[in-house]
């Protein structure tokens, strides 16, 4: 392990059935993040998993908007919102964490996107970019300074988590082989990776840290 285990955390973002192939918002090849995550999880003292966890009729669901199309971007209270298929409805099978994930080392499972009117891509802030989810407080309290991010989706929840973590002063590593993107709109995966790299995120393969 090249990282100091006392001051680093593995964050497993939204590895839920709805984001895996066959799910309501299936990320191409999404379940292939599981093997590299399981390969490194034993090296970390601090492991957090997040779960996208929406009420029915959530603001991010195209079905909640009259006359709007799937994947269209609208303004919800002035905040840009992509309209998704209904996904990760709290308590549903699609919202469950994938059972292939090795969860024994996870000490915190954080649910986000729980308010009907405000989405939360980032694990750190809701989409107004100022309402804390509480994760920053937890990470600080246990002494984490380096955040190692894995999971789904590269261009949404991973991306916003990484950018927010930099903004909060964490050192941020994205595990390149342990993330996959949704690719809506086309080009968004490459664009999000370019932006993360330009902002100071380090991309490493799981075998480089494990
Ligand atoms: C996500 C779209 C909608 C994600 C969550 O986990 O990246 N993407 N909700
Ligand atoms: Zn969502």
C-alpha torsion 156→178→111→62, nearest 10: 40
Position 155 in a domain: yes
Position 65 in a domain: no
pLDDT band at residue 2 using 50, 70 and 90 as cut-offs: confident
Please tell me whether residue 65 adopts helix, strand or coil conformation. coil
Q: Is the CB of 170 under 6 A from ligand 1?
A: no
Position 182 in a domain: yes
Mean pLDDT score of the chain, rounded to an integer?
97
pLDDT band at residue 187 using 50, 70 and 90 as cut-offs: very high
Residue 140: CATH number of its domain: 3.40.50.850
Do residues 56 and 174 lie in contact, with contact meaning Cβ atoms separated by under 8 Å? no
Position 106 in a domain: yes
pLDDT band at residue 1 using 50, 70 and 90 as cut-offs: confident
Do residues 81 and 73 lie in contact, with contact meaning Cβ atoms separated by under 8 Å? yes
pLDDT band at residue 60 using 50, 70 and 90 as cut-offs: very high
Position 63 in a domain: no
Position 96 in a domain: yes
Do residues 179 and 33 lie in contact, with contact meaning Cβ atoms separated by under 8 Å? yes
Domain total in the chain: 1
Please tell me whether residue 17 adopts helix, strand or coil conformation. helix
Number of residues assigned to the chain: 210
88: CA distance to ligand 2 center in Å?
7
Ligand 1 binding pocket mutation candidate from 11, 19, 120 (most atoms within 8 A of CB): 19
Range of the domain at 159: 8-55+86-208
Do residues 49 and 16 lie in contact, with contact meaning Cβ atoms separated by under 8 Å? no
Name the residues annotated as catalytic. 14, 112, 157
pLDDT band at residue 35 using 50, 70 and 90 as cut-offs: very high
Position 139 in a domain: yes
81, pLDDT greater than 80: yes
User: pLDDT tens for residues 160-169?
Assistant: 999 999 999 9
159: CA distance to ligand 2 center in Å?
14
């Amino acid at each position: 392990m090249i990282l100091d285990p006392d001051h680093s955390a593995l964050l497993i973002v939204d590895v839920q059935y709805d984001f895996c192939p066959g799910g309501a918002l299936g990320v191409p090849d999404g379940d292939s993040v599981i093997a590299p995550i399981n390969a490194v999880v034993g090296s970390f003292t601090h492991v957090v998993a997040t779960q996208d966890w929406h009420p029915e009729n959530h603001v991010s669901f195209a079905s909640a908007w009259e006359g709007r199309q799937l994947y269209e971007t609208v303004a919800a209270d002035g905040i840009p919102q992509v309209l998704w298929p209904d996904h990760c409805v709290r308590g549903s099978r699609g919202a469950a964490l994938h059972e292939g994930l090795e969860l024994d080392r996870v000490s915190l499972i954080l649910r986000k996107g729980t308010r009907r009117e405000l989405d939360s891509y980032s694990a750190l802030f809701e989409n107004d970019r100022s309402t804390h989810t509480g994760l920053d407080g937890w990470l600080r309290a246990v002494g984490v300074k380096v955040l190692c991010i894995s999971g789904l989706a590269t261009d949404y929840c991973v991306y916003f988590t990484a950018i927010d973590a930099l903004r909060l002063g964490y050192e941020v590593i994205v595990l390149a082989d342990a993330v996959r993107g949704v690719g809506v709109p086309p080009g968004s995966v490459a664009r999000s990776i370019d932006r993360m790299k330009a902002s100071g995120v380090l991309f490493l393969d799981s075998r480089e840290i494990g």
